[in-house]
């Protein structure tokens, strides 16, 4: 296991002067290793395959995660406290599965620690991301923005999609860095989202499953996330990359048990659940879209940047 050898990966498309030359550049800011895959893996794989420069910034090592591999439970925060280092290797393998070559940890690996779920004493750890000074953390992200100059920035909504402190903080840091970036601010900022219609369809599809992630929930409005369809701006159909996303899910083995509902989604006969991801537009102009809701089909829609390789889309 090559733990820790790729905390900062080399970038794929650079000029002799070290400048990134891909026309389309997208940056994703995530809280923990595995969030990139579960939330945006298909999107990342699609843009990487199309020749866009995809930059993943992960804010913590995910030290406080539960461990679903029995022989690795000794790595837990309360035992050897080695889970974070182990998850670097899982993230490295996930990026390889998604075709993403530019990955960094905010401020370097281990700068910020997983804060654990809201209200736990781990929120108060001196290195907890939840405790990070906003401008310091945003300054570190700003350095990456200045280097990569992405046109599109992806992060979470103000509630971090479901209320985890590190997700909320990732949102705050990304938005503050965007504000500080001035002329270099990405033209569009998206927040990950799950449309209510997709949740309702998922609840129906899983109703009789023994693995029902919605068990005990009667109404889609009772879920801590779920965005009205009218507020969704983009639907990224990356069904071609559902297999790559599934491969990336598999390598996050400490976090995602083989019984996970994510694998049930992969078996969905419609084949769309894993490969289709949705976004709200937080900043920038919505580009042209399609379908009954006029959803964009490309996060670069409306921007004047050439597609590197339309075939990858
Ligand atoms: Zn997370």
For residue 306, being part of any structural domain is answered with no
The single residue listed with the structure tokens 């270099």 is: 184
CA 32 to ligand 1 center in whole angstroms:
5
Which residues keep their CB under 5 angstroms from ion ligand 1?
Answer: 31-32, 35
For residue 223, being part of any structural domain is answered with no
pLDDT tops 80 at residue 212:
no
The CATH number assigned to the domain holding 56 equals: 3.40.50.10320
CA 208 to ligand 1 center in whole angstroms:
28
| Structure token digits, residue 312 | 């990858």
Segments forming the whole domain that contains residue 110: 25-194+232-301
State the chain's mean pLDDT as an integer: 90
**Element holding 280 (H helix, E strand):** strand 276-283
CA 173 to ligand 1 center in whole angstroms:
15
Give phi and psi for 193, each to the nearest 5: -155, 155
- How many CB atoms lie under 10 A from the CB of residue 15? 8
| Structure token digits, residue 276 | 């289709």
Give the pLDDT band of residue 270 (cuts 50, 70, 90). Answer: low
166 SS3 class: helix
For residue 125, being part of any structural domain is answered with yes
CA 200 to ligand 1 center in whole angstroms:
23
Number of domains in the chain: 1
| Structure token digits, residue 307 | 């597609």
Give the pLDDT band of residue 4 (cuts 50, 70, 90). Answer: very low
For residue 201, being part of any structural domain is answered with no
DSSP 51-89: T-EEEEEE----TT----SGGGGGGSTTTT--HHHHHHH
**By the 8 A CB rule, do 170 and 39 touch?**
no
Q: What is the pTM of this model?
A: 0.90
| Structure token digits, residue 228 | 């009205």
For residue 216, being part of any structural domain is answered with no
CA 62 to ligand 1 center in whole angstroms:
8
CA 262 to ligand 1 center in whole angstroms:
15
pLDDT tops 80 at residue 208:
no
Annotated binding-site residues read 32, 35, 167
CA 91 to ligand 1 center in whole angstroms:
13
**By the 8 A CB rule, do 39 and 171 touch?**
no
What pLDDT is recorded for position 268? 66
As a whole number, mean pLDDT of residues 176-198 equals 96
For residue 127, being part of any structural domain is answered with yes
CA dihedral 36, 40, 43, 48 (to 10 degrees): -10
163 SS3 class: coil
pLDDT tops 70 at residue 206:
yes
CA 123 to ligand 1 center in whole angstroms:
14
What pLDDT is recorded for position 215? 77
Crossing angle (nearest 10°) for helices 165-180 and 134-148: 60
pLDDT tops 50 at residue 8:
no
Annotated binding-site residues for Zn(2+) read 32, 35, 167
CA 205 to ligand 1 center in whole angstroms:
25
For the stretch 49-86, pLDDT in tens is: 999 999 999 999 999 999 999 999 999 999 999 999 99
**By the 8 A CB rule, do 196 and 226 touch?**
yes
For residue 295, being part of any structural domain is answered with yes
For residue 4, being part of any structural domain is answered with no
């Amino acid at each position: 296991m090559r733990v820790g050898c790729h905390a900062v990966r080399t970038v794929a498309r650079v000029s002799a002067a070290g400048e990134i030359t891909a026309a389309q550049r997208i940056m994703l800011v995530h809280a923990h290793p595995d969030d990139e895959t579960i939330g945006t893996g298909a999107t990342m794989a699609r843009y990487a395959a199309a020749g866009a420069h995809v930059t993943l910034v992960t804010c913590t090592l995910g030290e406080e995660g539960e461990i679903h591999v029995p022989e690795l439970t000794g790595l837990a925060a309360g035992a050897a406290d080695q889970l974070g280092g182990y998850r670097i290797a899982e993230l490295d393998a996930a990026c390889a599965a998604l075709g993403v070559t530019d990955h960094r940890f905010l401020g370097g690996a281990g700068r910020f620690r997983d804060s654990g779920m809201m209200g736990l004493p781990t929120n108060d750890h001196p290195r907890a991301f939840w405790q990070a000074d906003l401008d310091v953390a945003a300054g570190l992200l700003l350095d990456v923005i200045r280097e990569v100059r992405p046109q599109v920035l992806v992060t979470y909504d103000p509630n971090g999609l479901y209320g985890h402190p590190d997700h909320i903080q990732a949102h705050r840091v990304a938005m503050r860095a965007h504000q500080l970036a001035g002329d270099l601010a990405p033209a569009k900022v998206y927040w990950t989202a799950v449309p209510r219609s997709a949740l309702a369809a998922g609840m129906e599809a899983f109703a009789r499953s023994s693995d029902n992630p919605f068990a005990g929930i009667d109404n889609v409005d009772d879920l801590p996330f779920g965005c009205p369809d009218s507020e969704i701006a983009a639907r990224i159909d990356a069904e071609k990359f559902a297999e790559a996303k599934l491969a990336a899910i598999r390598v996050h083995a400490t976090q995602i048990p083989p019984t996970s509902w994510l694998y049930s989604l992969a078996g969905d006969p419609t084949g769309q659940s894993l490969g289709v991801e949705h976004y709200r537009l937080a900043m920038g102009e919505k580009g042209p879209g399609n379908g009954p809701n006029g959803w964009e089909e490309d996060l670069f829609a409306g921007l004047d940047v050439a597609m590197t390789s339309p075939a990858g889309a």
